[in-house]
Amino acid sequence: MTSRLLAAALILLVGSTSVALAESAEGVIKAINDKHRTITLEDGMEFVLPEHVKVDALKVGEKVKVEWPEKHRIIEAHEVVVVK
C-alpha cells in the first residue's frame, strides 16, 4: 500500500513540475545501493536518488521511469516512478 501511495504521489509531482532540459528513461531495477542512494537499471545506467525518494520503497525487478537533468557527468535523478 505504501509503495502505491508513493508511486501516486510521484506521478502527481511529475505532472505538476517541469524540469528544464530533463531527460528520462524507463527500465527494470537491477541493483539498489542504500548507502550511496543509487539504483542501477538492467541496461547499466546508474542514478543517484533525490532525498524525497524513499530507497526502501523501491525493489529490484521493478520497472521504473527516471527523469533527470544531467550535471557534470553525474546523472542525478529528479524523479523515480514505479511503472506498472
Range of the domain at 10: 2-82
- For 36-83, how does the pLDDT look when each residue is reduced to its tens digit (9 = 90+)? 999 999 999 998 898 888 999 999 999 999 987 766 566 777 888 888
Domain count, the chain: 1
Specify the residue for cell string 543517484: 48
Q: Is 20's pLDDT higher than 80?
A: no
Alpha-carbon gap, residue 36 to 28, rounded angstroms = 19
Q: Is 15's pLDDT higher than 60?
A: no
What is the CATH classification number for the domain harbouring 18?
Answer: 2.40.50.320
Average pLDDT on 10-22 reads: 50
The pTM of the full predicted model, rounded to 2 decimals, is 0.62
